[in-house]
Amino acid sequence: MSLSPLVPTVLRNLFKKPATNLFPRAEPVPVPENFRGQIKYNVDKCVGCRMCVTVCPAGVFVFLPEIRKVALWTARCVYCKQCVDVCPTGALQMSDEFLLASYDNYDDKFIPLKPEKVEEIKKKLEEQKKAKEKAKAEKKEQSKA
């Protein structure tokens, strides 16, 4: 039996510092530029063009016709960034967040556009519609008069 060639390496390593990142105690390894983290959705910028629904390979998006927006469930996202590339208004962006472990699949952080918000937008749209109709009716009356 000859001495293993690893012995000197191993004994030298014994006096070196560990080459590891002590994550919960230290900061995680910094993310690179253009890191593909969780999707961020900006509802106000969305024009409802349905491009993201077409291009998404994982079926994250559901189009909501009444309000012309999309609902997302990012727990299913595969981080391919195709929706970000295809979005014409820049309403979808990749963030740097990657610590996304959760006890609940339907955690709030996976659903950027919540049902309450959808209702709110619906109400707003209806109000706008009513206001417009009112304005139209008033205009008609004015023009009649």
Check binding of 16 to other proteins (CB under 8 A): yes
Segment lying near other proteins (by CB under 8 A), choices 14-22, 39-47, 58-66, 113-121: 14-22
Q: How far is the CB of 46 from other proteins (least distance, A)?
A: 46
In the chain, the DSSP E strands lie at 39-41, 61-64, 69-72, 92-94
Among residues 10 and 29, whose Cβ is nearest to other proteins?
A: 10
Span near other proteins by CB under 8 A; candidates 2-10, 31-39, 63-71, 111-119:
2-10
Q: Give backbone dihedrals phi and psi of 94, rounded to 5 degrees, phi first.
A: -85, 140
Instruction: Please state the closest distance from residue 23 (CB atom) to other proteins, in A.
Output: 11
DSSP state letter for 89: S
Give CA separation, 93 vs 21, 41, 42, 62, 97, in Å: 29, 7, 8, 17, 12
10 lies in the binding site for other proteins (CB under 8 A): yes
Site size toward other proteins (CB under 8 A) is 14
In the DSSP assignment, the letter for residue 2 is P
Angstrom distance (rounded) from CA 72 to CA 76 = 9
CA 72: distance to chain centroid? Answer: 8
The reply to whether 19 sits near other proteins by the rule CB under 8 A is yes
Using the contact rule CB under 8 A, the part of the chain among 16-24, 27-35, 48-56, 66-74 near other proteins is 16-24
Query: Which positions touch other proteins (CB under 8 A)?
Result: 1, 4, 6-7, 10-11, 13-14, 16-20, 22
